[in-house]
Amino acid sequence: MQITTYQAQGRVPVTVLQPHGDLDAHTYQELIAVAHREWNGGARDILLDLGDVHYLSSSGLVAIHTIARLLHGQEMPDPDAGWSAIHAIEHETGLAHPHLKLLSLQPPVDKVLTTTGFRKMFDVHTDLGAAVAAF
């Protein structure tokens, strides 16, 4: 998976992560690794641009959840924990994640996020400028 990263400046610096391709069992750990690298480099607010992601599996949900926990300074779940990582997410639905926002959801990805309750956990935007300004 190719992941483009760049900085956008709003009231605070925002790191934009833009994965290209499916976010699934073969690629989710790569997205987590890029987010962790950016965190280590000082990123504290991340905009996840999913405009070029047309498929999101449960592993992709784990990646999004892991990035949210990282930005909250919480312990990151073991990405190899399988269903226990998914069940950990269930206890956090409804919690706001102010340091991670989502951009440009494709209809199949939006459906997965809505069905699983993830969409309620994140601000979702269709415009880059509005998304950056929301931090």
CATH number for the domain including 113?
3.30.750.24
What is the spatial distance between Cα 24 and Cα 21, in angstroms, rounded to a whole number? 9
Give mean pLDDT, residues 12-40.
Answer: 97
What is the spatial distance between Cα 56 and Cα 73, in angstroms, rounded to a whole number? 25
Residue of higher predicted confidence among 72 and 133: 133
pLDDT at 73: 83
State the residue range of the domain holding 65: 2-133
List pLDDT tens digits, range 28-80.
Answer: 999 999 999 999 999 999 999 999 999 999 999 989 988 998 998 877 666 56
Number of separate domains in the chain: 1
Res. 121 pLDDT band, cuts 50 70 90: confident
Please tell me the pTM assigned to this model: 0.88
- Helices and strands in the chain: count of H runs, count of E runs: 5, 5
List pLDDT tens digits, range 80-115.
Answer: 655 555 555 555 555 568 999 999 999 999 999 999
